[in-house]
Amino acid sequence: MTKFVIRRAIQAIPVLFGITIVVYGILLAAPGGPEAKFANNPRMTQEAKDKFIKAWGLDQPIPIQYCRWMGLCNPETEGTMLGSLPTPAAFIGPSGLPNFLPTVMSGATNGLLHGDLGRSINSGEPVVDRIARAALPTFILAGIALVVWLSIAITMGVYAAIHRYSLFDNAATVFSYVGFAMPTFWLGIMLIFIFSGPGLNILPAGGMTETRLSPPFGSDQYWAYFGQHPVQALTDIGKHLILPVITLVVVNIAGDSRFVRASMLEALGQDFVRTAKAKGLPARVVNFKHALRNALLPVITNIGLEIPFLFTGAIVTETIFSWPGIGKLTIDATREFDYPILMGVLLVTSVLVVFANLLADIAYGYVDPRIKY
């Protein structure tokens, strides 16, 4: 198993490298650009615009911009080779060693390889700090949604398969079709209208905390408040979590419960299950020890692909409920032409996809003992 994990981690390196090229190319091909933010600003002189472009390295050829963003090239080195390529001297760091080596060896601090994703064009804040600050709210929302979603989807799918064509199975089928057909944005708006509108008005419509009772989440003042009033702070966050969690899990439960049901039905029809029943094993052992473990294999594959997008792709939900996470950060960065933040978010998403698939492969070995690495 250890050799398999190491081999897969090494294989992921060229995949991630290729992803960085694709991400960089897509954002370059997108309309506008970092300079579009002030392109038509009459109060900004051409000299100021040129100064901004030079400071951000936007006057350099695209290969050099990418090389500096990755941390392969030294941004202090000028000149090009063959019109658009970096010169050999550009790959040498301040210490005289290759720029891509760790900072303690090369002296370089720029680029992805050194943990630097650049700075926000809008605020000037490091992209790493912006993403880190938005990551905690997203992980809280997505983590709770993940537990609720998997618990209900697997339980519902397994029970519906065991009690095929029962009243519960038929009701679960209706719920799945209705839930899967509901657009996320419509469901979120309806939940706000019902539970936060003038009718019931029992749950907050948006945000992560009640700003009248506590400082903004994530600030130093908030953590001081959290230490003094932990129960009140957790209750406040819990109330704000209810509606966005429901919005996130309904569609996932609707789809995955049917997927689990189909996989479980297929496993229950296998010869080894009929053999286990013929031996007189209890139904609980047959269903959960033999059938369920085999039924979970395709489910794990599906979940491994869905988890990264649950953590980074809840853009609609976070926007509707003003949840200060990565999804909302992505929308704000798109609206403000903040390309460094967009590249950072896309890169984090790609890493999560690769990591989740690695975890899914590892889980195969624990679920199905026939799989050897």
Identify whether 120 is part of a domain: no
β-partners of residue 76 are none
- Please indicate, yes or no, whether residues 174 and 308 belong to a single structural domain of this protein: yes
Identify whether 77 is part of a domain: yes
Residue 160 and residue 263 in contact, taking contact as beta carbons nearer than 8 Å: no
The token duo for 248 is 């996130």
- Of 71, 92, 114, which residue is a domain's last? 114
- Please indicate, yes or no, whether residues 175 and 317 belong to a single structural domain of this protein: yes
Domain carrying residue 8: 2-114
Identify whether 122 is part of a domain: no
Number of domains in the chain: 2
Identify whether 372 is part of a domain: no
Digit-coded pLDDT (tens) for 289-321: 878 877 887 778 777 777 777 776 578 888 889
- Please indicate, yes or no, whether residues 200 and 88 belong to a single structural domain of this protein: no
- Please indicate, yes or no, whether residues 138 and 104 belong to a single structural domain of this protein: no
- Please indicate, yes or no, whether residues 66 and 192 belong to a single structural domain of this protein: no
- Please indicate, yes or no, whether residues 58 and 151 belong to a single structural domain of this protein: no
- Please indicate, yes or no, whether residues 308 and 342 belong to a single structural domain of this protein: yes
Report how far residue 313's alpha carbon sits from residue 310's, in angstroms, rounded to the nearest whole number. Answer: 5
Report how far residue 101's alpha carbon sits from residue 74's, in angstroms, rounded to the nearest whole number. Answer: 12
Identify whether 341 is part of a domain: yes
Give the CATH number, domain containing residue 339: 1.10.3720.10
Predicted local distance difference test score (pLDDT) of residue 39: 64
Report how far residue 314's alpha carbon sits from residue 309's, in angstroms, rounded to the nearest whole number. Answer: 7
Predicted local distance difference test score (pLDDT) of residue 4: 73
Digit-coded pLDDT (tens) for 243-294: 999 998 888 888 888 888 988 888 888 888 888 888 888 888 888 887 887 7
Report how far residue 320's alpha carbon sits from residue 330's, in angstroms, rounded to the nearest whole number. Answer: 13
- Please indicate, yes or no, whether residues 133 and 95 belong to a single structural domain of this protein: no
In residues, how long is the chain?
373
For residue 339, the tally of other CB atoms under 10 A from its CB is 25
Which of the pair, 363 or 247, is modelled with greater confidence? Answer: 247
Q: What is the dihedral of CA 152, 157, 160, 162, to 10 degrees?
A: -120
CA atoms within 13 A on the CB side of 355: 10
Q: How confident is the model at residue 171 (pLDDT cuts 50, 70, 90)?
A: very high
Report how far residue 218's alpha carbon sits from residue 206's, in angstroms, rounded to the nearest whole number. Answer: 16
pTM for this entry: 0.81
Rg (CA), the chain: 25
Mean pLDDT across the chain, nearest whole number? 83
